[in-house]
Structure 1
């Protein structure tokens, strides 16, 4: 979940395969520099993003970190259109992440669900299935929060009674 300029991990599930991760429940990371953070920033307008990040240059954590609020806005808008984020080595070079938004009944992004892979590159043969699992699971969480995709189109309520 997002808390201001940070993301906070509120739940974590670990695979039976060994994978050393320093991220635990309660860990805080910079939203602008993480895949989950990008998902959590999707609903912000450019003005809101500039207010959240008023400095001219954002703190850099990797070669992939956006340098300005405008660059971050462009990235999160592409992510929003795609419906998920897949990034290899975005925050840490040896870790790849797939993430999707969890929305509430208003259509607002209230959480992000992600799968972290302990590799700089994801096996292309497994990619589609992994993205589908993340998106489906985020969709199921959204449904539990009473989100109805048929009521929303790009964040706008749609008339379901068109003839």
Structure 2
């Protein structure tokens, strides 16, 4: 999207960059680390962090010299998710899918070039999922992301990945736009995709799309995952895949019925 720099607020942009810097791997950051991430001096970074703390989006970590996300950040996420009308109807369907498969089940959406895990039902078997709500993975490198990207036209995908920095995770990861488009042409329209070590060499996953039936647009994905070999590959690509497809179809129908009610 083209922007007019006259209307940009640099301090707000830097504050948002600071909030996005926190992750599962970087749960707390020092002022110096924030300054480097935002590309400002330490004094400016301190003022931005202080403002975010005052507004409730950051808090001081245990040693008082580092900052961590505060719970107010969740308010923004939950407000956004509630507007999707996905979480409430999806929860019982994810729970039934988990009971059928015994492995972790997830609800996933795409935001730009990332996928975001917006709900999780933990496994009942011995292998628990370490993927939490809010986890972001690169869409181009995951079967779930490729599935959600397949709802876009080739031109839309080219624009989305213009000037993209391509990260590689396994031999199967597309390393450029042409490779990504070739992969999407291959998988577009499939009812489900199975990853057998495709993104994480130690993990198996299966994802099926959720559609808004009124316009047949893809709005999310249901996925399951477990350690590679936790379930025999033939069973994973058969029974587990069928259960994931059935859950995605059920959620698509449920969302359609809910939206049709006066």
TM bin (shorter chain):
0.7 to 0.9
How far apart in 1 are the matches of 2:124 and 2:230? 20
What are the residue-to-residue correspondences of 1:113-128 with 2, within 5 Å?
113-119=222-228, 123-126=232-235, 127-128=237-238
* Residue in structure 2 matched with residue 141 of structure 1 by the alignment: 251
Q: Which has the higher helix share?
A: 2
Q: Is contact 1:89-1:120 (8 Å) kept?
A: no
* Residue in structure 2 matched with residue 101 of structure 1 by the alignment: 209
What are the residue-to-residue correspondences of 1:4-23 with 2, within 5 Å?
4-23=112-131
Q: Which SS does the other structure have where 2:256 is aligned?
A: coil
How far apart in 2 are the matches of 1:55 and 1:44? 18
Aligned residues: 147
* Residue in structure 2 matched with residue 111 of structure 1 by the alignment: 220
* Residue in structure 2 matched with residue 154 of structure 1 by the alignment: none
Q: Is contact 1:97-1:114 (8 Å) kept?
A: yes
Q: Is contact 1:40-1:109 (8 Å) kept?
A: yes
Relative contact order higher in (CA < 8 Å, ≥ 6 apart): 1
CA RMSD of aligned residues (A): 1.9
Q: Is contact 2:122-2:129 (8 Å) kept?
A: no
Q: Is contact 2:148-2:220 (8 Å) kept?
A: yes
Q: Is contact 1:43-1:108 (8 Å) kept?
A: yes
Structure 2 runs not aligned, ≥5 long: 1-108, 258-262
* Compared CA separation, residues 121 and 75, structure 1 to 2 (3 A): farther
Q: Which structure has the bigger radius of gyration?
A: 2
Structure 1: 4+ residue segments shifted above 4 A: none
2:180 pairs with 1:72: yes
Superposition TM-score, scaled by structure 2 size:
0.52
